[in-house]
Amino acid sequence: MHAVRRRRKRQGPTPTFGIVGPIGLFGHFAAPPSPVPIAPARTGNHRREPQMPLTRTAAGLAAAALLIGATGCSKPDTAPAAPASTSGTAAPALPSLPPVPSGAEAPPIVGPVSLTEFAKANGLTATPLRHGQAGPTVELPAMDGWTLSYDLPEAPFGALVFDHPSDPDIPGRVLVTMTKLSGPVERDAVFAAAGNELRALPNFQGPATGQSSKLDGYVADQVGGLYGDDGRLVAQKTVVIPAGDVSYVLQVRASGSNQDAAALMSATADIDKKTVITE
């Protein structure tokens, strides 16, 4: 394959995902929003009101919305400062969350629910690439607190696992896959099929359509929401890379506990600013 090499100039070495070194996480977001205050505990004869974590209703869905962000955002809205804690200890900060109605239903799925189904429906062959195989490379910024792995079967191109999850049973992860399709494709159709992979997750709550974005100058599609009985966060960015008579599809999927939303947002914001794709 005669490929055109395009690279963005940058200062200093950047570890290459799929080649060497650790990377960060996926996203296209503004900086984490200002915290909202949490009322101090009542004292005396008053009962202490329980402080709820990010949940599957308003807080959880809104945190997922923050994971997929708004394309082009650069600064968070200004929020009132949190009042001083009466106990002398600062209250834990949660992201600023808009209200979201509970009991949201999963969006309808239209079309193929995976790249494999998309390829089959269009007479193409879908071949997942492994670490080190010929094809595009992806350079993402190194991130402290994430461990690089090539052993996850669902991410043969590579993956990162968050070192300090709030719940060890729900580790924050970023799965990076590169799929070779044996022919040219219509980009929006690929985006729809890739997004449907998230919409097909158990109890998925999120948008019925993706949001347009960019990754290193490439047009991208991003989808995010909650899934599972415990309201886990998930967000995915998809890029189609044409290469003559074949096409490559890059997918970067971030997921984890809603308790780790701040860490996921911080990492994904850095990824969007510093990723380099080389054909």
Average pLDDT on 84-106 reads 40
Q: In this predicted model, what pLDDT tens digit does every residue of 2-54 receive, in sequence order?
A: 444 455 444 443 333 332 222 323 433 333 333 333 334 444 444 444 433 44
**Range scoring the smallest mean pLDDT among 3-7, 85-89, 117-121, 142-146:** 85-89
pLDDT interval class at 108 (50, 70, 90) = confident
Greatest CA separation found in the chain? 76
- Rounded Cα distance, 84 and 89, in Å: 9
Q: Is the pLDDT of residue 89 over 90?
A: no
DSSP structural state of residue 51:
P
Q: In this predicted model, what pLDDT tens digit does every residue of 225-236 receive, in sequence order?
A: 999 988 899 999
DSSP structural state of residue 169:
T
| Better-predicted residue by pLDDT, 128 or 83 | 128
H or E segment at 191?
helix 187-199
pLDDT at site 60: 45
Give the residue carrying structure tokens 């003559």. Answer: 244
pLDDT interval class at 197 (50, 70, 90) = very high
pLDDT at site 49: 41
Q: In this predicted model, what pLDDT tens digit does every residue of 130-142 receive, in sequence order?
A: 988 999 988 777 7
Q: In this predicted model, what pLDDT tens digit does every residue of 209-225 receive, in sequence order?
A: 999 999 999 999 999 99
pLDDT at site 110: 83
Domains of the chain: 25-37+52-74+94-102+113-278 (3.40.1000.10)
- Rounded Cα distance, 137 and 131, in Å: 10
Give the residue carrying structure tokens 């900086």. Answer: 31
Cβ–Cβ < 8 Å for 65, 205 = no
pLDDT at site 68: 45
Cβ–Cβ < 8 Å for 206, 109 = no
pLDDT at site 107: 67
pLDDT at site 156: 86
pLDDT at site 239: 97
Percent of the chain at pLDDT > 90 equals 39
